[in-house]
Amino acid sequence: MPTILDIAEYAGVSSATVSRVINSSGYVGEETRKLVEEAIEKLNYSPNKNAQHLRKGSTKNFGIISTQFNDTAVARINSFITTAYSFGYTTTLFVTNGDKKREVEAFDLLKSKQIDGIFLIYRANDWSVLEKYAAFGPVVTLHNVDSEQIPSVFIDHYEGHKLALEYLWETGCRHIYNLYGTATGLNTKRRIQAYHDFCDAKGIPPHPSDPFIHTISAGKVDAFVSWFLKQQTRPDAVVTHSDSIAALVVSRLRRKGIAIPEEVSVIGFDNIDVSDVMDMSTIDYGIEEQGRNACRLLLQKLAKPTDALGPLSFKLIQRKTTR
Amino acid sequence: MPTILDIAEYAGVSSATVSRVINSSGYVGEETRKLVEEAIEKLNYSPNKNAQHLRKGSTKNFGIISTQFNDTAVARINSFITTAYSFGYTTTLFVTNGDKKREVEAFDLLKSKQIDGIFLIYRANDWSVLEKYAAFGPVVTLHNVDSEQIPSVFIDHYEGHKLALEYLWETGCRHIYNLYGTATGLNTKRRIQAYHDFCDAKGIPPHPSDPFIHTISAGKVDAFVSWFLKQQTRPDAVVTHSDSIAALVVSRLRRKGIAIPEEVSVIGFDNIDVSDVMDMSTIDYGIEEQGRNACRLLLQKLAKPTDALGPLSFKLIQRKTTR
């Protein structure tokens, strides 16, 4: 891959002259220009696209960074991409698989202006590593981060979880069981808190959070179903942290002959497509609006015209998996 | 954003010297090195990561390019990303929204060695525009393309569609109706062909392909359900082109009180998660293997160690939406 320096050497001119020819800036004599153009052709040099973007100061491209790529991430990514496109921006998605180095490389593209802004979904590095990048361009996150530089489209799962619990209680459920998400996640901590506060208010003893914390796979749902079938007094309601997991719970319990909602109510979270086609009750909070808001916040930070932020609020969606 | 030329000017040295300092190549006197390093710090210059990759000849990064981002694309993308990661490669996803210029820009990254290979899912440009890029690095596609340069993990939907039709016939269905995908797609043409050949073989008249060609949205499924309810002789089976659409058909028909499979059988295609949790019959062809094979083909072209390609073959998955 030839550089400007190679072109300069081949053409017998200075690299500054090559730069002037490539950028069509400043005066270059006709003879000299020809020499440079010949060298460019001969060495098959292609001026760096990114360098050209640099000069314009914008690539009209946003980056989405996520450690993983699951159904819930996909719903947000989709609405972000669509919104960005409607404002003339394309989107590049970096899936880091939790690789810290790879995440930093993606953030470096903001520094070198190869992307105009970043929507960080799930992160690999500590905030201390990432937050300094906000100086180079707008960063929006899904995480609950206390930062003036980095706005967040975070929602507090406490309220959503509480809404599900209260609704199940109202419909007569008295043995509510909770399936929690990622063991280390803040959302899980907030959900456990909501459950304990709920139990305090109702004067009932809480069940232990283990062993069905980190219920994020089909295997763990199968383990839960086996446990469920063995109980003398079975739960009469199951609260989950995502529609994907709720769909597995409904499907696996029904295969074992358990009637839903007659024997047990099941409620999801997110209100993504699968809850619609399965007629599952769930908690909606505007997951697509969350993706759109992330994009609007980036555009605001870039002082571009955009729509006002849409509201994110918890709403119970009653369908057919609860009484 | 400062360039090498700015550093050279600031430090009062040649750009070749700056280049030697940055690349730690060739001799540079201690005094001169200090001047350059000071200039780099003063001007806040960051050596171009991509240029550094160029020298190593590999970024260990693959690109996936797609015009859109739907459930079916996601299943393939996920298995591609996981496979790539297990071989030490990260993945960047370019969603072009059908923008031809954006697609070319992503392909240009192969030319400038900023990505090592491309998996093209849905394309925007003509093949004549894209195929020349195969000279710069490996490109694998999902499209049915007759090219020695570009291998494909394409599968011919003709056989899959025929398998669904034959199975429904065997289970006693005599008024089979087809919901087709994208009107301009080759897969749709092959499915229509399979249906017409099937009708010829059974000696029955085919129904017209319109108006339920391009049934790729919830709105179109609703229109189909309205049409279905109005028929004097209703179809006793519905063949779809994707599980996402089959899930909508099952859900919407059930909401109208239609018993599935008693009154009408519904069969999906792809065997993605939603068909499992909804207990839908479907056609499996190894959608995840398709994503893995795409990655393996790129690794083969790069002469990297990889697994053998996995088999892609049609298999009927009998669940509870067919008799």
For residue range A104-116, list pLDDT tens digits in order.
999 999 998 889 9
Q: What share of chain A is helix, strand, coil (3-state, %, to 5)?
A: 45, 10, 40
Q: CATH 3.40.50.2300 in chain A, residues? A: 57-155+288-310, 157-284
> Would an 8 Å CB–CB cutoff place A168 in contact with chain B?
no
For chain A, give the mean pLDDT: 89
Is 70 exceeded by the pLDDT of residue B171? yes
| pLDDT at res. A2 | 67
- Going by C-alpha positions, the residue among A155, A133, A164 that lies closest to residue A243 is A164
Q: Does A86 touch chain B (CB under 8 A)?
A: no
Q: How far is the C-alpha of A93 from the C-alpha of B203, rounded, in Å?
A: 50
Q: List the one residue out of A96, A92, A134 whose CA is nearest residue A115.
A: A92
pLDDT band, very low/low/confident/very high, at B24 (cuts 50, 70, 90): low
* Residue B265 pLDDT exceeds 70: yes
Does residue A55 have a pLDDT over 60? no
Q: Are A273 and B81 within 8 A, CB to CB?
A: no
Q: Tell me the average pLDDT across B19-47.
A: 75
By three-state DSSP, how is residue B238 classified? strand
Is the pLDDT at A69 greater than 50? The verdict is yes
Q: What is the mean pLDDT of residues B190-219?
A: 96
At A255 the pLDDT is: 97
Using pLDDT thresholds of 50, 70 and 90, give the confidence band for residue A51: very low
Provide the shortest C-alpha distance from residue A57 to chain B (in Å). 9
Residue B119 has pLDDT above 90, yes or no: yes
Encode burial over B298-311: b for 16+ CB neighbours within 10 A, e otherwise.
Answer: bbbbbeeebeeeee
Q: Which residues of B touch A112 (CB under 8 A)?
A: 1, 46, 48-49
- Per-residue pLDDT reduced to its tens digit, A35-47: 888 888 777 676 5
Contact by Cβ (8 Å): B78, A68: no
Q: Is the pLDDT reported for residue A100 higher than 60?
A: yes
| Distance of alpha carbon A236 from alpha carbon A251, whole angstroms | 16
Q: Considering CB atoms only, which of A15, A113, A247 is closest to B277?
A: A247
Mean pLDDT of B79-88: 90
User: Positive or negative CA dihedral for B244, B272, A119, A314?
Assistant: positive
Looking at the domain that runs over B4-47, which CATH code has it been given? 1.10.260.40
Q: Please compute the mean of the pLDDT values over residues A1-30 and round it to a whole number.
A: 75
For B91, phi then psi, to 5°, come to: -135, 135
**Whole-number pLDDT of residue A88:** 87
Write out residues 11-50 of A within 8 Å (CB-CB) of B: 15-16, 19, 46, 48-50
- Distance between CA atoms of residues B33 and B36, nearest Å: 5
Q: What percent of chain B stands above pLDDT 70?
A: 94
Structure tokens at A56: 């314009």
Q: Among A95-99, A198-202, A284-288, B54-58, whose mean pLDDT is lowest?
A: B54-58
**Residue A153 pLDDT greater than 90, yes or no:** yes
pLDDT of residue B2: 67
**Cβ contact, residue pair B1, A273, below 8 Å:** no
Q: How confident is the model at residue B244 (pLDDT cuts 50, 70, 90)?
A: very high
Q: What is the CA radius of gyration of chain B?
A: 27
For every residue of A19-40, DSSP letters joined together read HHHHHT-S---HHHHHHHHHHH
> Taking CB atoms and an 8 Å cutoff, what residues of chain B touch A247?
273-274, 277
What are the two backbone dihedrals, phi and then psi, of residue A18, each rounded to the nearest 5 degrees?
A: -60, -45
Over residues A210-229, the pLDDT tens digits come to 889 999 999 999 999 999 99
Tokens standing for residue B144? 């049915």
Please answer yes or no on whether A92 and B96 come within 8 Å at the CB atom: no
Residue B51 has pLDDT above 60, yes or no: no
Instruction: For chain B, give percent helix, strand, coil, nearest 5.
Output: 45, 10, 40
Number of CB pairs, chain A paired with chain B, less than 8 A apart: 111
H-helix or E-strand spanning residue B91: strand B90-95
| Interchain pair A93, B93: CB under 8 A | yes
A57-155+288-310 homologous superfamily = Response regulator (3.40.50.2300)
Q: Which of A16-30, A44-58, A186-200, B225-239 has the lowest mean pLDDT?
A: A44-58
Side chain identity at residue A152, one-letter code: S
Kindly give the interhelix angle for A71-86 and A243-255, rounded to the nearest 10 degrees.
Answer: 140
The pLDDT-based confidence of B4 (bands split at 50, 70, 90) is confident
List, for residues A120-140, the tens digit of each pLDDT value.
Answer: 998 999 888 998 899 999 999
Residue A71 has a pLDDT of: 76
Q: Does A108 touch chain B (CB under 8 A)?
A: yes
Measuring CA to CA, how many Å separate A150 from each of A117, A154, A291, B199? 11, 11, 16, 61
Query: What integer pLDDT is reported at residue B26 of this predicted model?
Result: 65
Which ranges in chain B are annotated with CATH 1.10.260.40? 4-47
The confidence score (pLDDT) of residue A17 equals: 81
A154-183 pLDDT, tens digit each: 899 999 999 999 999 999 999 999 999 988
Q: Where are the beta strands (DSSP E) in chain A?
A: 61-66, 90-95, 117-120, 139-141, 176-178, 237-239, 265-267, 282-284, 315-317
If you average pLDDT over residues A252-257, what whole number do you get? 98
A202: enclosing H helix or E strand:
helix A186-202
Is the pLDDT assigned to residue A149 strictly greater than 90? no
Whether the per-residue pLDDT at A16 is higher than 80: the answer is no
Question: A-chain residues within 8 Å CB-CB of B99?
Answer: 90
Average pLDDT score over chain B: 89
Confidence of residue B23 (pLDDT cuts 50, 70, 90): low
Chain B residues 266-285 with CB within 8 Å of chain A: 273-274, 276-279
Q: Which of A49, A85, A99 sits opposite B105 (nearest CB)?
A: A49
Greatest CA separation for chain B: 93
Residue B231 pLDDT > 70, yes or no? yes
Burial A164-178 (b: 16+ CB within 10 A, else e): bbebbbeeebeebbb
| String of DSSP letters for A49-108 | HHHHHHHHT--SEEEEEES---HHHHHHHHHHHHHHHHTT-EEEEEE-TT-HHHHHHHHH
Mean pLDDT (whole number) for B103-132: 91
What ipTM was assigned to the predicted interfaces of this complex? 0.79
- CA A258 – CA A240 distance, rounded (Å): 17
The count of C-alpha atoms lying within 13 angstroms of the C-alpha of A182, restricted to the half-sphere facing its C-beta, is 6
The number of CA neighbours under 13 Å toward the Cβ of A166 is: 12
**What integer pLDDT is reported at residue B53 of this predicted model?**
44
Averaged pLDDT, B227-237: 98
Domain A157-284, CATH number (from 3.40.50.1820, 3.30.70.20, 3.40.50.2300, 3.40.980.10): 3.40.50.2300
Highest mean pLDDT of the ranges A29-43, A86-100, B33-47, B290-304:
B290-304
Q: What is the mean pLDDT of residues B33-55?
A: 66
